[in-house]
Amino acid sequence: MNALAIAGGTVVTPRRIGKADVLVQGEKVARIGKVGRGIRRASARGLLVLPGAVDAHVHLDLPVAGTRSADGWRSGTLAAAAGGVTTVIDFTVGSAEVPLPDQIEQRTAEVREAVVDFALRAEMVGWTADRTPELAQAAERGVRSFKFFLAYASSGRRTPLGMLRQAMNAIRDLGGTAMVHAEAEELLDPGGGPFPLARPAIAEEVAIAEVGVLARETRCPTYIAHISSAQGMRALRAAQRSGSPLVGETCPHYLLLDERVYRRPDGHRFSVTPPLRSAADRAALWDALARRWLQAVGTDHCPFRNDQKDPFQNVPSRIPSGLPGVELLLPLLYSAGVARGRIGLPDLVRYLSEGPARAFGLWPRKGALRVGADADLVLLDPKATWTVDAGRLHMATDFSPYEGLRVQGRVVGVLSRGTWLVRDGEILARPGRGRFVPWTQGRG
Ligand SMILES: [Zn+2]
């Protein structure tokens, strides 16, 4: 078997930081420690060697608001590779008419050009109790996570709490995870505007509190997507302290940006749901990361080009909502988190690799740097600095919410199952090599 030593770097896991070589044999990590002579070597001197990031929340080629998110599987996963994300979790296209197994087959068939490995989550739309057998059928196809919306009644995506409770009981029995978009519909402005006042933080707090009670009672592991506010964090903490098995995610845009951007002439381009909040909310989310009150950072990657958002500048209810994220997840969390002293290096890999991989049944095959895991590795130059320029990124959008931001830390090497996707800063990734990763039984 082809052997390769990533030699002389600083290896980072959630529990350990230290100088070590990593021996890659075929698609797996075979050894961490000293690797002797006679083995092909790639120097990682001066670099951090991290487990590949798992972005548990991406929307590639998503049909929404009469358009599609700008990144397809090719550009979206190429961008992921460029940024050190070696696994993405995307969604089926939920429907009241199409059963989950058919949704999974359709979505898998569409993924012909993935560069990195991917898993799928079923998007629950038009869910009714008589569809319960579909959950086990999805599980047989390697999909055990299911996303519910407490908002978006007008587009038929909202699941009432009674139905959610019933589904959570079934998901617990399957050993899966419910994911919830937690905004209480009754507290949102049905007219959609003015953005972002239409979606207040109290809607998030109330919804997380409600879901926390359901998760405690059903004992169903439940992942709260994109927590954006101090109020949302308060509800998450209260639920977790009461024994509710909630897993909390926030996103880079809630950590790096705040509502001031909406006052800019191009403020509408920052439309995202939930919306960006206050500087105090931002600080509360960093504090939560520092205290390990959250378990994952994902991007909710859902990019649009300016020509998709600009026509609706003055029609907040019709602006496609979402921001690009997958390519900058790791660099931004390193730069604004680790380099600024807000979180430690082990927490970086906890939030980007182990946390999301464990929450969605991929760990330790994914999200772990240990013997026997897939050789998904990132080499990061911690000293390199660079400036965000949307035109030089690989995502298929001409907009970056971070345009002009100075970033410390650069991804210079990426391996996926032992194959170089990025080497010495050059992208070598080949579309079509990414594979579906099924949920593995158990959480490790
Ligand atoms: Zn999302």
3-state secondary structure 172-202: HHHCCEEEEECCCHHHCCCCCCCCCCCCCHH
Alpha-helical (H) ranges within 27-127 are 73-82, 100-110
- C-alpha 19 to ligand 1 mean position (Å): 37
Selection from 336, 325, 329 nearest residue 406 by Cα: 336
- C-alpha 290 to ligand 1 mean position (Å): 24
- C-alpha 46 to ligand 1 mean position (Å): 36
- Residues contacting residue 133 through CB under 8 Å, at least 6 positions apart: none
- C-alpha 375 to ligand 1 mean position (Å): 28
- C-alpha 11 to ligand 1 mean position (Å): 31
- C-alpha 258 to ligand 1 mean position (Å): 19
Q: Residue 177 forms beta bridges with which residues?
A: 145
Q: Measure the CA–CA gap between 182 and 205, rounded to whole angstroms.
A: 8
In the chain, domain spans = 52-359
- C-alpha 254 to ligand 1 mean position (Å): 14
- C-alpha 293 to ligand 1 mean position (Å): 21
Helices 161-174 & 133-140 angle (0-180, nearest 10): 40
- What value, to the nearest 5°, has the Cα angle with vertex 118 and ends 115 and 119? 170
Selection from 354, 308, 338 nearest residue 408 by Cα: 338
pLDDT tens for each residue of the chain, 444 residues long: 689 999 999 999 999 999 999 999 999 999 999 998 899 999 999 999 999 999 999 999 998 878 999 999 999 999 999 999 999 999 999 999 999 999 999 999 999 999 999 999 999 999 999 999 999 999 999 999 999 999 998 888 999 999 999 999 999 999 999 999 999 999 998 777 777 889 999 999 999 999 999 999 999 999 999 999 999 999 999 999 999 999 999 999 999 999 999 999 999 999 999 999 999 999 999 999 999 999 999 999 999 999 999 999 988 888 999 999 999 999 999 999 999 999 999 999 999 999 999 999 999 999 999 999 999 999 999 999 999 999 999 999 999 999 999 999 999 999 999 999 999 989 998 999 999 999 996 554
Selection from 172, 167, 174, 160 nearest residue 219 by Cα: 172
- C-alpha 1 to ligand 1 mean position (Å): 40
- Stated pTM of the model: 0.97
Are the CB atoms for 420 and 413 separated by under 8 Å? Answer: yes
Q: What fold is seen in the domain 52-359?
A: TIM Barrel (3.20.20)
- C-alpha 372 to ligand 1 mean position (Å): 31
- C-alpha 41 to ligand 1 mean position (Å): 40
Give 265: exposed, middle or buried? Use CB within 10 Å, 0-12, 13-18, 19+: exposed
- C-alpha 371 to ligand 1 mean position (Å): 33
- C-alpha 57 to ligand 1 mean position (Å): 6
Q: Measure the CA–CA gap between 123 and 193, rounded to whole angstroms.
A: 26
Q: Taking the CA atoms of the chain, what radius of gyration do you get in angstroms?
A: 21
- C-alpha 179 to ligand 1 mean position (Å): 10
- C-alpha 276 to ligand 1 mean position (Å): 15
Place of tokens 């991007």: 299
- C-alpha 83 to ligand 1 mean position (Å): 19
